[in-house]
């Protein structure tokens, strides 16, 4: 839980700045974009010159463009100049992508807001709560401390992060329902928001899912069984990233598997790997492989051939063995 004085320390930095850049993570999801847009809108409300930015040149997935303010988020290699940077939903500084070197150099002008268990804190002020369901959950409390007036657009961004990072409220603390109720009071059509972020699809998307899911494998790694999907470059290049990213939820709880893994080859020879489990600490596994995340949901990057990438995960799982079970704090 974040203490009141920590929120005030962060607000002090905000008050001293006129221009502020809000940075979300690479390959953003709804929590990242919702955190960026709601923070930008809140800062503009109190008279700040605020912009959102993502450190990659690839554009935003179409389903995230339904979040108010997302169309104005900058995607590029150069961090916009500003008096202060607020980094949201980035479990490590590397998740800021092309902005990482600049952010390292200006640490005293950086606020970090995040809920990933593996985040070491890389800002001057770090608002990190590993028990929070989403980064937007933390921001909701911080906005209250700053006396921000929640508007329908800000509420939409906050709700988007809460909805998706709780798996449509399938895991989290009771407080998540209180927050959802309060946000709904700002006129949100949660049925439409859910459909836009999670349900809308096409025949082409369904065929893509079927093509990838048909290749699912169960692999043995020491005491564990892995459910693995591989989305290779030739299959997913130019296709919907929202659909590809959603594949991980299909292998989270496969019968007979201890955890699920999806290997996404967005660049040839480079795999973005997502891990999910209901009873193991995949965060420990991701950290071991140079990544990070939450205890039940984490990720990392692997390089090489498909076989090499798979072998690396299997070897790491065998190496960590029973520690993956003992490191688990809570189920999700």
Query: What pLDDT digit, counting tens, does each position of 17-41 carry?
Result: 999 999 999 989 999 999 999 999 9
Q: What pLDDT is attached to residue 331?
A: 38
Contacts of 207 (CB under 8 A, 6+ apart): none
The per-type count for the chain, helices as H runs and strands as E runs, is 14, 12
**Is this structure's pTM higher than 0.75?**
yes
Residue 332 pLDDT exceeds 60? no
**Residue 22 is inside which H or E element, if any?**
strand 19-24
Query: If you average pLDDT over residues 191-213, what whole number do you get?
Result: 91
In the chain the first and final C-alpha atoms are separated, in Å, by: 18
Helix (H) or strand (E) holding 225: strand 224-231
Q: Which ranges in the chain are annotated with CATH 3.90.1640.10?
A: 4-198
Confidence class for position 78, pLDDT limits 50, 70, 90: very high
Query: Mean pLDDT across the chain, nearest whole number?
Result: 94
CA neighbor of 246 nearest in space, from 259, 234, 262: 262
pLDDT at 252: 83
CATH number for region 4-198: 3.90.1640.10
Residue 283 burial class via C-beta count within 10 angstroms: exposed 0-12, middle 13-18, buried 19 and up: buried
Strand order in 224-231's β-sheet? Answer: 217-221, 224-231, 259-267, 270-276, 297-303, 292-293
Q: List b or e across 170-207, with b for residues whose CB sees 16 or more CB atoms inside 10 angstroms.
A: ebbeeebeebbeebeeeebeeeebbebbbeeeeeebee
Helix locations, the chain, DSSP H: 4-16, 30-45, 100-105, 135-145, 152-165, 175-184, 190-194, 203-213, 233-236, 241-245, 248-251, 282-288, 306-320, 323-326
- Burial group, residue 322, by CB count within 10 angstroms (0-12, 13-18, 19+): exposed
Q: How far is CA 309 from the centre of its chain?
A: 22
Q: What is the mean pLDDT of residues 257-269?
A: 96
Q: In the prediction, which pLDDT does 327 show? A: 61
DSSP 266: E
Which residues belong to CATH 3.10.310.30 in the chain? Answer: 203-326
Burial (CB count <10 Å: 0-12, 13-18, 19+), residue 299: buried
Residue 136: exposure state from Cβ atoms within 10 A (0-12, 13-18, ≥19): buried
Helix (H/G/I), strand (E/B), else coil: 5: helix
Characterize the bridge pairing of strands 297-303 and 19-24: unpaired
- What CA–CA distances, in Å, run from 172 to 32, 165, 169? 18, 9, 7
Q: List, for residues 157-169, the tens digit of each pLDDT value.
A: 999 999 999 989 9
Q: Is the pLDDT of residue 329 over 70?
A: no
User: What are the Cα distances from residue 332, in Å, to 169, 173, 313?
Assistant: 11, 10, 22
Q: Which residues pair with 113 in a beta bridge?
A: 88, 127
- Architecture of the domain whose range is 203-326: Roll (3.10)
């Amino acid at each position: 839980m974040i203490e009141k004085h920590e929120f005030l320390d962060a607000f002090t930095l905000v008050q001293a700045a006129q221009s502020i850049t809000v940075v979300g993570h690479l390959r953003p999801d709804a929590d990242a974009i919702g955190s960026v847009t709601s923070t930008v809108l809140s800062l503009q409300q109190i008279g700040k010159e605020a912009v959102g930015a993502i450190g990659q040149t690839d554009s935003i997935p179409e389903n995230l463009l339904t979040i108010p303010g997302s169309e104005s988020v900058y995607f590029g290699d150069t961090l916009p100049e500003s008096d202060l940077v607020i980094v949201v939903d980035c479990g490590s500084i590397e998740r800021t992508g092309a902005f990482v070197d600049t952010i390292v150099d200006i640490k005293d002008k950086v606020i970090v807001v995040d809920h990933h268990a593996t985040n070491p804190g890389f800002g001057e002020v770090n608002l990190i709560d590993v028990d929070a369901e989403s980064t937007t959950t933390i921001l909701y409390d911080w906005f209250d401390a700053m006396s921000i007036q929640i508007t329908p657009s800000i509420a939409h961004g906050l709700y988007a992060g809460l909805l998706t990072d709780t798996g449509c409220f399938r895991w989290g603390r009771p407080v998540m329902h209180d927050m959802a109720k309060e946000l709904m009071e700002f006129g949100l059509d949660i049925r439409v928001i859910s459909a836009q972020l999670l349900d809308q699809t096409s025949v082409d998307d369904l065929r893509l899912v079927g093509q990838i899911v048909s290749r699912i494998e169960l692999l043995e790694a020491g005491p564990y069984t892995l459910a693995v999907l591989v989305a290779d470059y030739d299959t997913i290049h130019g296709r919907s990233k929202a659909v590809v990213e959603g594949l991980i939820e299909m292998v989270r709880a496969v019968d007979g598997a201890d955890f699920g893994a999806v290997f996404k080859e967005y660049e040839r020879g480079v795999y973005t790997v997502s891990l999910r489990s209901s009873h193991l600490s995949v965060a420990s596994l991701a950290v071991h492989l140079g990544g990070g995340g939450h205890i039940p949901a984490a990720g990392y990057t692997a390089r090489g051939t498909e076989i090499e990438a798979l072998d690396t995960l299997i070897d790491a799982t065998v190496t960590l063995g029973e520690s993956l079970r003992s490191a688990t704090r809570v189920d999700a």
